[in-house]
């Protein structure tokens, strides 16, 4: 009985168009009428065919499934026997020869004689006896002293006798406040009203950054950073120049995608629009989950 009900629910297809595009993708447009409500539908499907070939030897597969580990060292699970070495530069052909020439020429210069080179100004003397450095140090000392004196004068003490934090000092003294600083001061004022600790400059910046980073989960493992840049965003109506950077998280050992990515867009408004638009949409045969990092962290607490 169920099956007949389902059959009658299937909309009647009137027309189907298939457009082959130059970049290897297909666009399928179908027009249909819902038999129950008699409403016309137009559905557009973008199809991209991808083929992944993997050759497997039967002998290797058998070894993988049937063989057990043996030996003292292999059974000791607490010790890792394999580690990734430092990243090694690989150059071949002309590139390699050029780099080798450079190395040799630098070696020759070194061996010509011990040339004294000051790290500070580049002159022919030791760093400790550098006259430029001496002068700079004296000036710095003078400046520091002056600043100390200034700060001591400026330190105003509240009626209770406790020091007033620096962020509140800005309010009265400075005539011009940048928009960022204003935001921060306002935010801090709010936090203090709620009885929480004010944020430092770094923490505040991180909050700002979090607002405009998107956290995308449940990606297909074959998706690359280029795919996100060139396909996921343009399909949903966001041009490529709205993206600042994309970071697809990969496995350290195998280099394979782990299925989630961080995308930084130009500002917080775009990020929220993106999250609203793309959350729950399908991309390369999986349904992705998109949210801003700020909202993700809010949900955590």
Partner 1 sequence: MRVLNLVLHTRNLNQVKYNKEGDLLFTAAAEGIVGVWNSVTGELLGTLEGNEGTVNGMAATSDSKFMITGSGDATLRTWSLQTGKNLQKYELGYVNSVAISPDNEYVACAISPIMGFEGSVQIYKLNKETGEISEKPITTLKYDPENKENLGFYGKLGFSYENKYLFVSTNDGSLLRFKLDELLKGEHKIDDHVKVHKEVIMDLQFSPDLTYVITASRDRFSKIIDVETMDLIKTYENMYPLNTACITPIKDFILMGGGQDAKSVTTTDSKHGGFEIKLLHKIFNNEISEFKGHFGPVVSVAVNPQGTSFTSGGQDGTVRVWFFEPDYFDYTVDITE
Among 71, 122, 161, 195, binds partner 1 (CB under 8 A): 71
Q: State the Cα–Cα distance between residues 154 and 162, nearest whole angstrom.
A: 14
Q: How far is the CB of 57 from partner 1 (least distance, A)?
A: 5
Contact 171, 258 (CB under 8 A): no
For residue 280, the 8-state DSSP code is T
Q: How far is the CB of 221 from partner 1 (least distance, A)?
A: 17
Q: Which token pair is 15? A: 């027309």
Side-by-side strand order, sheet with 213-217:
243-250, 257-265, 213-217, 289-292
Q: State the Cα–Cα distance between residues 216 and 151, nearest whole angstrom.
A: 47
Q: How far is the CB of 117 from partner 1 (least distance, A)?
A: 21
Of 15 and 81, nearer to partner 1 (C-beta) is: 81
Among 5, 47, 88, 114, binds partner 1 (CB under 8 A): 88
Of 67 and 301, nearer to partner 1 (C-beta) is: 67
Contact 289, 280 (CB under 8 A): yes
Q: How far is the CB of 68 from partner 1 (least distance, A)?
A: 8
Among 67, 113, 162, 240, binds partner 1 (CB under 8 A): 67
Alpha-carbon distances of 89 from 18, 43, 95, rounded to whole Å: 47, 50, 11
Among 96, 117, 226, 249, binds partner 1 (CB under 8 A): 96
SS3 125: coil
Of 50 and 84, nearer to partner 1 (C-beta) is: 84
Near partner 1 in 128-147, by CB under 8 A: none
Q: How far is the CB of 92 from partner 1 (least distance, A)?
A: 5
Of 52 and 67, nearer to partner 1 (C-beta) is: 67
- Those residues with Cβ within 8 angstroms of residue 58's Cβ, 6 or more apart along the chain or in another chain: none
Q: State the Cα–Cα distance between residues 39 and 55, nearest whole angstrom.
A: 49
Q: How far is the CB of 73 from partner 1 (least distance, A)?
A: 5
Does residue 85 interact with partner 1 by CB under 8 A? Answer: yes
Q: State the Cα–Cα distance between residues 81 and 273, nearest whole angstrom.
A: 47
Does residue 77 interact with partner 1 by CB under 8 A? Answer: no
Chain residues binding partner 1 by CB under 8 A are 57, 59-60, 63, 66-74, 80-93, 96, 253-255
């Amino acid at each position: 009985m169920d099956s007949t009900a389902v059959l009658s629910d299937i909309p009647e297809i009137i027309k189907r168009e298939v457009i082959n595009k130059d970049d290897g993708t297909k666009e399928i447009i179908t027009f249909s009428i819902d038999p129950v409500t008699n409403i016309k539908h137009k559905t557009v499907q973008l199809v991209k065919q991808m083929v992944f070939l993997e050759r497997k030897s039967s002998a290797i597969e058998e070894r993988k499934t049937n063989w057990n580990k043996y030996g003292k060292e292999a059974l000791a699970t607490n010790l890792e026997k394999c580690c990734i070495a430092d990243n090694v530069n690989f150059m071949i052909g002309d590139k390699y020869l050029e780099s080798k020439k450079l190395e040799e020429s630098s070696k020759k210069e070194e061996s010509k004689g011990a040339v004294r080179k000051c790290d500070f100004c580049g002159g022919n003397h030791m760093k400790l006896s550098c006259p430029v450095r001496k002068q700079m140090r004296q000036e710095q000392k003078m400046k520091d002293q002056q600043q100390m004196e200034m700060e001591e004068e400026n330190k105003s003490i509240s009626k209770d006798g406790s020091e007033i934090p620096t962020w509140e000092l800005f309010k009265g003294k400075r005539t011009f406040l940048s928009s960022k600083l204003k935001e921060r001061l306002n935010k801090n004022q709010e936090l203090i009203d709620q009885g929480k600790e004010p944020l430092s400059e770094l923490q505040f910046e991180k909050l700002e950054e979090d607002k405009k980073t998107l956290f995308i989960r449940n990606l297909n493992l074959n998706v690359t950073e280029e795919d996100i840049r060139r396909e996921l965003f343009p399909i949903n109506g966001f041009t490529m120049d709205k993206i600042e950077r994309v970071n697809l998280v990969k496995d350290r050992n195998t280099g394979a995608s782990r299925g989630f990515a961080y995308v930084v867009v130009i500002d917080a408004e775009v990020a929220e629009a993106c999250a609203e638009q793309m959350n729950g949409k399908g991309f390369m045969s999986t349904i992705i989950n998109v949210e801003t990092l700020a909202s993700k962290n809010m949900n955590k607490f």
